[in-house]
Amino acid sequence: MYTLHAIPDFASLIVHLVLEELGQPYSLHTLDFDSGDLDTPAFRAIHPFGKIPAMETPDGPMFETAAITLWLADRHGTLAPAPTAPDRTEFLSWFFFNNFSLHTGMMALVHPYRPGGEDIVFPVSETAHARLMSELGTLDAMIAARNPRWLSPDQPSILTYHLAVLMRWMKAFAYFPEHAIDSTKFPAIHAILRAMESRPAAIRAAADEGLTGTFFSNPES
């Protein structure tokens, strides 16, 4: 039994989607950012710096979104190539790329005031947008050329759901509307988002967090 500590439409959404897809028993503990729930001693005992998500497991508490989803995939033998599979190399490369480059870039697009305050929000957003467009182009070309089973419209993976949520936020929550990233510019990625948002497990997790419709491919802002 897992307990996921979550805030609707925060990074916990990625873990929530994965848990629904796994079909493993879990409970969702929803926190309230504005009430200071992240700063309570009880939550800090689970997550030392009070961020979302955190997940309690029989082996102890975990944090870092991608660490949690990879741990779940390996433990339950699904949603990622197994450690001994020949395509584990390629999968891990792009899984960490997604996390290291795209997730970081998304943060700059959505919160451009974080790196240096309000004075430079536009240039920060602009450089993040340019870099993301280039990186997403690289990723889209790779999918079109290789059609990997771990990033495909045909079946979900932990990478697919992580990317889908990043694409959602880059469209819906870009600080500057002109830097919002439209998934239709990346046809291979767009096709995957369309397939994922019609999966029953994804629809259930999304509905729990108040999201409906084309919540990955064309989310409302």
Q: Per CB under 8 A, does 97 bind another protein?
A: yes
Least distance (Å) from another protein to the CB of residue 124? 6
Long-range contact pairs involving 177-186 (C-beta distance under 8 Å, separation at least 24) = 177/221, 179/109, 179/125, 179/126, 179/128, 179/129, 180/221, 181/109, 181/129, 181/132, 181/133, 181/136, 182/218, 183/216, 183/217, 183/218, 184/217, 184/218, 185/133, 185/136, 186/136, 186/137, 186/139, 186/140
Side-by-side strand order, sheet with 54-57: 26-30, 2-6, 54-57, 60-63
Least distance (Å) from another protein to the CB of residue 99? 5
Where does residue 33 rank: exposed (0-12), middle (13-18), buried (19+ CB within 10 A)? Answer: exposed
Least distance (Å) from another protein to the CB of residue 164? 18
Count the residues in the chain.
221
Least distance (Å) from another protein to the CB of residue 149? 14
Q: Whose Cβ is closer to another protein: residue 57's or residue 214's? A: 57
In the chain, beta strands by DSSP E: 2-6, 26-30, 54-57, 60-63
Choices 34-42, 71-79, 169-177, 188-196 (CB under 8 A): range interacting with another protein: 71-79
Site string for another protein, 111-150 (x = CB under 8 A): ----xxx-xx--xx--xx--x---x--x--xx--------
Three-state SS at 111: coil
Q: Whose Cβ is closer to another protein: residue 89's or residue 221's? A: 89
Q: Whose Cβ is closer to another protein: residue 120's or residue 207's? A: 120
Q: Per CB under 8 A, does 62 bind another protein?
A: yes
- Subset of residues 10 to 49 that bind another protein, contact rule: CB under 8 A: 48-49
**Interacting residues with another protein (CB under 8 A):** 48-49, 57, 59-60, 62-64, 66-68, 70-71, 74-75, 83-84, 86-90, 92-93, 95-97, 99-101, 103-104, 108, 115-117, 119-120, 123-124, 127-128, 131, 135, 138, 141-142
